[in-house]
A and B are shown apart, each in its own frame.
Chain A
Amino acid sequence: MIDAVVMPSARADPGTHERRARAWDVLRDVNDPEVPVISVVDLGIVRDVTVEDGELVVAVTPTYSGCPATEAIEESIVAALDAAGLGPTRIRMQRAPAWTSDWISAQGRAKLHAYGIAPPGPVDREAAAPLRFIARAPAPLACPRCASTNTERLAAFGATACKALWRCRACGEPFEHFKPI
Protein backbone atom coordinates (compact mmCIF):
# COMPACT_ATOMS: atom_id res chain seq x y z
CA MET A 1 0.00 0.00 0.00
CA ILE A 2 1.25 3.42 -0.90
CA ASP A 3 0.90 5.79 2.00
CA ALA A 4 1.30 9.29 0.74
CA VAL A 5 3.22 11.57 3.03
CA VAL A 6 1.77 15.03 3.44
CA MET A 7 4.28 17.71 4.24
CA PRO A 8 3.32 19.89 7.22
CA SER A 9 3.89 22.97 5.05
CA ALA A 10 1.22 21.80 2.60
CA ARG A 11 -1.32 21.59 5.41
CA ALA A 12 -0.37 25.06 6.63
CA ASP A 13 -0.89 26.71 3.23
CA PRO A 14 -4.17 28.68 3.46
CA GLY A 15 -5.09 27.86 -0.17
CA THR A 16 -4.66 24.19 0.54
CA HIS A 17 -6.65 24.44 3.75
CA GLU A 18 -9.51 26.16 1.93
CA ARG A 19 -9.45 23.58 -0.87
CA ARG A 20 -9.62 20.70 1.56
CA ALA A 21 -12.46 22.28 3.55
CA ARG A 22 -14.45 22.87 0.37
CA ALA A 23 -13.76 19.30 -0.71
CA TRP A 24 -15.26 17.96 2.54
CA ASP A 25 -18.34 20.14 1.90
CA VAL A 26 -18.72 18.69 -1.60
CA LEU A 27 -18.25 15.13 -0.31
CA ARG A 28 -21.08 15.62 2.19
CA ASP A 29 -23.40 15.69 -0.83
CA VAL A 30 -21.97 12.63 -2.64
CA ASN A 31 -24.33 9.78 -1.85
CA ASP A 32 -23.76 6.03 -1.79
CA PRO A 33 -25.29 4.68 -5.04
CA GLU A 34 -26.82 1.64 -3.30
CA VAL A 35 -28.22 3.53 -0.31
CA PRO A 36 -28.85 6.92 -1.92
CA VAL A 37 -29.80 8.78 1.25
CA ILE A 38 -26.45 8.57 2.99
CA SER A 39 -23.33 10.45 1.92
CA VAL A 40 -19.88 8.94 1.63
CA VAL A 41 -18.87 11.12 4.60
CA ASP A 42 -21.78 9.95 6.78
CA LEU A 43 -20.98 6.37 5.79
CA GLY A 44 -17.48 6.88 7.16
CA ILE A 45 -15.61 5.67 4.09
CA VAL A 46 -13.82 8.98 3.39
CA ARG A 47 -10.87 8.82 5.75
CA ASP A 48 -8.81 11.80 4.70
CA VAL A 49 -8.55 14.59 2.14
CA THR A 50 -5.09 15.96 1.38
CA VAL A 51 -3.36 17.94 -1.32
CA GLU A 52 -0.25 16.41 -2.85
CA ASP A 53 1.67 18.05 -5.70
CA GLY A 54 -1.39 20.09 -6.61
CA GLU A 55 -3.64 17.03 -6.66
CA LEU A 56 -6.54 16.56 -4.31
CA VAL A 57 -6.15 13.07 -2.80
CA VAL A 58 -9.18 11.43 -1.19
CA ALA A 59 -8.46 8.37 0.98
CA VAL A 60 -11.36 5.94 0.71
CA THR A 61 -11.83 2.73 2.72
CA PRO A 62 -14.03 -0.02 1.22
CA THR A 63 -16.98 -1.28 3.30
CA TYR A 64 -16.74 -4.88 2.05
CA SER A 65 -13.94 -6.60 0.11
CA GLY A 66 -16.25 -7.33 -2.81
CA CYS A 67 -18.56 -4.32 -2.66
CA PRO A 68 -19.51 -3.76 -6.32
CA ALA A 69 -20.34 -0.11 -5.61
CA THR A 70 -16.72 0.75 -4.74
CA GLU A 71 -15.77 1.80 -8.25
CA ALA A 72 -19.00 3.76 -8.81
CA ILE A 73 -18.44 5.58 -5.51
CA GLU A 74 -14.89 6.49 -6.49
CA GLU A 75 -16.06 7.78 -9.87
CA SER A 76 -18.78 9.93 -8.31
CA ILE A 77 -16.32 11.38 -5.78
CA VAL A 78 -13.90 12.38 -8.54
CA ALA A 79 -16.70 13.73 -10.74
CA ALA A 80 -18.21 15.84 -7.91
CA LEU A 81 -14.87 17.34 -6.87
CA ASP A 82 -13.86 18.06 -10.45
CA ALA A 83 -17.25 19.66 -11.14
CA ALA A 84 -16.75 21.92 -8.11
CA GLY A 85 -13.46 23.08 -9.61
CA LEU A 86 -11.39 21.44 -6.89
CA GLY A 87 -9.64 18.88 -9.09
CA PRO A 88 -7.52 17.29 -10.30
CA THR A 89 -8.60 14.55 -7.92
CA ARG A 90 -7.14 11.17 -7.18
CA ILE A 91 -8.55 8.35 -5.01
CA ARG A 92 -6.26 6.51 -2.68
CA MET A 93 -7.59 3.12 -1.56
CA GLN A 94 -6.86 2.82 2.13
CA ARG A 95 -7.58 -0.68 3.48
CA ALA A 96 -6.25 -0.28 7.01
CA PRO A 97 -7.76 0.16 9.48
CA ALA A 98 -10.69 -1.85 8.13
CA TRP A 99 -14.00 0.00 7.84
CA THR A 100 -16.52 -0.64 10.60
CA SER A 101 -20.18 0.31 10.74
CA ASP A 102 -19.29 2.15 13.96
CA TRP A 103 -17.93 4.88 11.66
CA ILE A 104 -21.40 5.74 10.33
CA SER A 105 -22.25 9.19 11.72
CA ALA A 106 -25.23 9.95 13.95
CA GLN A 107 -26.70 11.93 11.07
CA GLY A 108 -26.11 8.96 8.75
CA ARG A 109 -27.93 6.64 11.16
CA ALA A 110 -30.87 9.03 11.34
CA LYS A 111 -31.04 9.17 7.53
CA LEU A 112 -30.93 5.37 7.24
CA HIS A 113 -33.76 5.08 9.77
CA ALA A 114 -35.86 7.67 7.95
CA TYR A 115 -35.29 5.77 4.69
CA GLY A 116 -36.60 2.55 6.26
CA ILE A 117 -33.28 0.83 6.94
CA ALA A 118 -32.61 -0.13 10.56
CA PRO A 119 -29.18 1.34 11.35
CA PRO A 120 -26.47 -0.90 12.81
CA GLY A 121 -25.99 -1.14 16.56
CA PRO A 122 -22.49 -0.98 18.00
CA VAL A 123 -20.21 -3.74 16.74
CA ASP A 124 -19.98 -6.54 19.26
CA ARG A 125 -16.39 -6.36 20.41
CA GLU A 126 -16.67 -9.90 21.65
CA ALA A 127 -17.53 -11.13 18.18
CA ALA A 128 -14.02 -12.50 17.98
CA ALA A 129 -15.00 -15.05 20.61
CA PRO A 130 -16.23 -18.48 19.46
CA LEU A 131 -19.21 -18.14 17.21
CA ARG A 132 -22.71 -19.27 17.87
CA PHE A 133 -23.65 -21.82 15.28
CA ILE A 134 -26.93 -23.02 16.67
CA ALA A 135 -29.84 -21.19 15.06
CA ARG A 136 -29.87 -18.03 17.07
CA ALA A 137 -32.29 -15.21 17.55
CA PRO A 138 -30.39 -11.96 17.04
CA ALA A 139 -31.24 -9.21 19.52
CA PRO A 140 -34.56 -7.70 18.42
CA LEU A 141 -34.40 -4.61 16.27
CA ALA A 142 -36.89 -1.80 16.28
CA CYS A 143 -38.92 -1.65 13.07
CA PRO A 144 -37.96 1.60 11.31
CA ARG A 145 -41.60 2.12 10.30
CA CYS A 146 -43.67 1.42 13.43
CA ALA A 147 -40.92 1.15 16.09
CA SER A 148 -42.19 -2.22 17.33
CA THR A 149 -39.48 -4.60 18.53
CA ASN A 150 -41.65 -7.57 17.60
CA THR A 151 -39.39 -8.26 14.63
CA GLU A 152 -37.49 -11.22 13.17
CA ARG A 153 -34.58 -11.74 10.84
CA LEU A 154 -35.63 -13.41 7.60
CA ALA A 155 -32.16 -13.71 6.03
CA ALA A 156 -28.62 -13.01 7.16
CA PHE A 157 -27.79 -11.63 3.71
CA GLY A 158 -29.71 -9.01 1.77
CA ALA A 159 -29.90 -7.07 -1.47
CA THR A 160 -26.44 -5.58 -0.93
CA ALA A 161 -23.36 -6.86 0.91
CA CYS A 162 -23.96 -4.46 3.79
CA LYS A 163 -27.56 -5.40 4.63
CA ALA A 164 -29.68 -8.23 6.08
CA LEU A 165 -33.42 -8.74 5.60
CA TRP A 166 -35.90 -8.45 8.48
CA ARG A 167 -39.66 -8.43 8.99
CA CYS A 168 -41.85 -6.63 11.48
CA ARG A 169 -44.54 -8.88 12.95
CA ALA A 170 -46.48 -5.87 14.25
CA CYS A 171 -46.96 -3.89 11.04
CA GLY A 172 -46.24 -6.77 8.69
CA GLU A 173 -43.67 -4.81 6.67
CA PRO A 174 -40.28 -6.19 5.65
CA PHE A 175 -37.29 -3.93 6.24
CA GLU A 176 -33.54 -3.96 5.79
CA HIS A 177 -30.92 -3.88 8.50
CA PHE A 178 -27.51 -2.33 7.94
CA LYS A 179 -25.28 -5.07 9.41
CA PRO A 180 -22.95 -4.18 12.27
CA ILE A 181 -19.48 -5.22 11.14
Chain B
Amino acid sequence: MIPCTDFIPAYSELFKTLNKINGKKAVEDFWKYLAENFLTNLRSLVKKHGLKGCWLYWQHTLNEEAAGFTMELNEKKGFFRIKMHKCPSKGRLLKIKHIKPYHDYCRHCDVLYRHILEPLGFEYIFDSTKCYKASCSITVKARQ
Protein backbone atom coordinates (compact mmCIF):
# COMPACT_ATOMS: atom_id res chain seq x y z
CA MET B 1 0.00 0.00 0.00
CA ILE B 2 1.24 3.43 -0.84
CA PRO B 3 0.32 5.47 2.26
CA CYS B 4 -1.88 8.49 1.76
CA THR B 5 0.96 10.61 3.16
CA ASP B 6 3.02 9.64 0.07
CA PHE B 7 0.26 10.40 -2.41
CA ILE B 8 1.60 13.79 -3.52
CA PRO B 9 4.91 12.49 -4.95
CA ALA B 10 2.95 9.59 -6.52
CA TYR B 11 0.56 12.10 -8.09
CA SER B 12 3.46 14.16 -9.43
CA GLU B 13 5.04 11.04 -10.93
CA LEU B 14 1.72 10.21 -12.59
CA PHE B 15 1.75 13.62 -14.30
CA LYS B 16 5.31 12.94 -15.48
CA THR B 17 4.27 9.53 -16.84
CA LEU B 18 1.37 11.02 -18.79
CA ASN B 19 3.49 13.90 -20.06
CA LYS B 20 6.06 11.42 -21.34
CA ILE B 21 3.36 9.42 -23.18
CA ASN B 22 1.52 12.24 -24.88
CA GLY B 23 2.63 15.63 -23.61
CA LYS B 24 0.73 18.35 -21.80
CA LYS B 25 -2.61 17.36 -23.33
CA ALA B 26 -2.47 13.89 -21.78
CA VAL B 27 -1.91 15.47 -18.36
CA GLU B 28 -4.78 17.94 -18.82
CA ASP B 29 -7.11 15.21 -20.06
CA PHE B 30 -6.37 13.30 -16.86
CA TRP B 31 -7.06 16.34 -14.68
CA LYS B 32 -10.45 16.73 -16.36
CA TYR B 33 -11.16 13.03 -15.85
CA LEU B 34 -10.26 13.37 -12.18
CA ALA B 35 -12.56 16.37 -11.84
CA GLU B 36 -15.42 14.42 -13.45
CA ASN B 37 -14.87 11.17 -11.60
CA PHE B 38 -13.36 12.08 -8.26
CA LEU B 39 -14.36 15.63 -7.34
CA THR B 40 -18.04 14.77 -7.46
CA ASN B 41 -18.39 15.89 -3.82
CA LEU B 42 -17.25 19.43 -4.68
CA ARG B 43 -19.79 19.57 -7.51
CA SER B 44 -22.63 18.26 -5.30
CA LEU B 45 -21.80 20.64 -2.45
CA VAL B 46 -21.71 23.70 -4.73
CA LYS B 47 -24.90 22.63 -6.50
CA LYS B 48 -26.63 22.29 -3.15
CA HIS B 49 -25.16 25.22 -1.19
CA GLY B 50 -23.80 27.61 -3.83
CA LEU B 51 -20.58 29.40 -2.78
CA LYS B 52 -20.87 27.95 0.70
CA GLY B 53 -20.30 24.55 -0.92
CA CYS B 54 -16.71 25.69 -1.64
CA TRP B 55 -16.26 26.52 2.04
CA LEU B 56 -17.64 23.11 3.09
CA TYR B 57 -15.46 21.24 0.60
CA TRP B 58 -12.18 23.02 1.36
CA GLN B 59 -12.62 23.17 5.13
CA HIS B 60 -12.53 19.37 5.07
CA THR B 61 -9.63 18.89 2.66
CA LEU B 62 -7.37 21.74 3.83
CA ASN B 63 -7.63 20.73 7.48
CA GLU B 64 -6.90 17.07 6.74
CA GLU B 65 -4.00 18.12 4.53
CA ALA B 66 -2.60 20.30 7.34
CA ALA B 67 -2.40 23.37 5.14
CA GLY B 68 -1.50 26.85 6.35
CA PHE B 69 -4.31 28.97 4.97
CA THR B 70 -6.89 31.71 5.38
CA MET B 71 -10.31 30.97 3.96
CA GLU B 72 -12.99 33.63 3.51
CA LEU B 73 -16.60 33.44 2.45
CA ASN B 74 -18.94 36.34 1.87
CA GLU B 75 -22.19 35.16 0.35
CA LYS B 76 -23.69 38.67 0.24
CA LYS B 77 -20.80 39.99 -1.81
CA GLY B 78 -20.59 36.72 -3.71
CA PHE B 79 -17.02 35.59 -3.15
CA PHE B 80 -15.04 32.73 -1.65
CA ARG B 81 -11.29 32.98 -1.25
CA ILE B 82 -8.41 30.80 -0.14
CA LYS B 83 -5.09 32.42 0.61
CA MET B 84 -2.72 29.51 0.77
CA HIS B 85 0.21 30.48 2.96
CA LYS B 86 1.74 27.04 3.08
CA CYS B 87 0.53 24.53 0.53
CA PRO B 88 1.10 21.04 1.96
CA SER B 89 1.46 19.45 -1.47
CA LYS B 90 3.87 21.87 -3.11
CA GLY B 91 5.66 22.33 0.20
CA ARG B 92 6.24 18.60 0.38
CA LEU B 93 7.53 18.43 -3.19
CA LEU B 94 9.93 21.30 -2.56
CA LYS B 95 11.25 19.53 0.53
CA ILE B 96 11.96 16.15 -1.08
CA LYS B 97 15.37 16.59 -2.62
CA HIS B 98 15.84 13.17 -4.20
CA ILE B 99 12.96 13.41 -6.70
CA LYS B 100 12.21 15.87 -9.45
CA PRO B 101 8.54 16.94 -9.38
CA TYR B 102 6.42 17.46 -12.49
CA HIS B 103 7.43 20.88 -13.79
CA ASP B 104 3.87 22.24 -13.95
CA TYR B 105 2.53 20.53 -10.84
CA CYS B 106 0.52 23.44 -9.41
CA ARG B 107 -1.53 23.91 -12.56
CA HIS B 108 -3.73 20.95 -11.61
CA CYS B 109 -5.40 23.26 -9.07
CA ASP B 110 -6.27 25.63 -11.90
CA VAL B 111 -7.66 23.00 -14.28
CA LEU B 112 -9.44 20.69 -11.79
CA TYR B 113 -11.50 23.24 -9.90
CA ARG B 114 -12.15 25.48 -12.89
CA HIS B 115 -13.58 22.43 -14.68
CA ILE B 116 -16.10 21.97 -11.86
CA LEU B 117 -16.93 25.56 -10.91
CA GLU B 118 -17.22 27.48 -14.17
CA PRO B 119 -20.04 25.35 -15.62
CA LEU B 120 -21.91 25.96 -12.35
CA GLY B 121 -21.89 29.70 -13.01
CA PHE B 122 -18.85 30.88 -11.05
CA GLU B 123 -15.74 32.76 -12.04
CA TYR B 124 -12.59 30.96 -10.94
CA ILE B 125 -9.35 32.90 -10.46
CA PHE B 126 -6.14 31.09 -9.59
CA ASP B 127 -3.04 33.12 -8.77
CA SER B 128 -0.02 30.87 -9.11
CA THR B 129 2.66 33.58 -9.07
CA LYS B 130 3.98 32.45 -5.66
CA CYS B 131 3.79 28.72 -6.25
CA TYR B 132 7.58 28.57 -6.17
CA LYS B 133 7.31 29.12 -2.41
CA ALA B 134 4.28 26.85 -1.87
CA SER B 135 1.88 29.76 -1.74
CA CYS B 136 -1.06 30.68 -3.99
CA SER B 137 -4.61 31.99 -3.93
CA ILE B 138 -7.96 30.91 -5.28
CA THR B 139 -10.95 33.21 -5.65
CA VAL B 140 -14.39 32.00 -6.66
CA LYS B 141 -16.93 34.67 -7.56
CA ALA B 142 -20.60 34.38 -8.32
CA ARG B 143 -21.20 35.68 -11.87
CA GLN B 144 -23.54 38.67 -11.96
Q: Do A and B bind each other?
A: no
**Residues of chain B having any CB pair with chain A under 8 Å:** none
